[in-house]
Amino acid sequence: MKNIVIILSVFVTLVSCNQNNKNEVEQAKQMAIDSMKNQSALIEAKQKAIDSMKVVAAKQASIDSLNAANAAASAKSTSSTNKVAASEGSSTKSSSTTPVAKKKKMSGAVKGALIGGGVGAVSGAIISRNNKPLKGALIGGAIGAGLGAGTGAIIDAKNKKKE
């Protein structure tokens, strides 16, 4: 009788453990499927953002071309008005120049800080992945940003001396 109870308890334990493993596998599969759905939704959101930026850029290009056309038209009308005024003996002159705004370049210190911060954050997260990767990423990012900003400032100073 004792042997039958032991065999029965071992059998029940094995069956229940096997069902738990199947449930865990099913849960893992479902989590993977959900993760893939979330990833595809994220990709779609990124693509929508990119598309909206393209639309904004196209709108800005249209606005710029209209402004340029208006400036050219006003310069043309100003020029014809000046010709008429000059032929009548008037000495009024009008000049219409549109200033072209130059795009500011990012300084070497800012570039260095961004690159160093990114590299430091990734390195810090990888180095402390077993303990606290977020803390490692923050510390590594801060150190990397500081070193990168310093290096970028040094490079900027050398480039200014050359010029």
pLDDT per position as a tens digit, 124-134: 888 887 888 88
State the pLDDT at residue 30.
77
Tens-digit pLDDT profile for residues 102-151: 777 888 888 888 888 889 888 888 888 788 888 888 888 899 989 988 98
More confident residue, 4 or 112: 112
- Per-residue pLDDT tens over the stretch 70-102: 777 776 665 555 454 444 444 444 455 566 667
- SS3 letters for the chain? CHHHHHHHHHHHHHHHHHHHHHHHHHHHHHHHHHHHHHHHHHHHHHHHHHHHHHHHHHHHHHHHHHHHHHHHHHHHHHHHHHHHHHHCCCCCCCCCCCCCCCCCCCCHHHHHHHHHHHHHHHHHHHHCCCCCHHHHHHHHHHHHHHHHHHHHHHHHHHHHHHC
Q: What is the pTM assigned to this prediction?
A: 0.37
Q: Where are the domains of the chain?
A: 1-84, 106-163
- Report the pLDDT value the prediction gives residue 45, as an integer from 0 to 100: 77
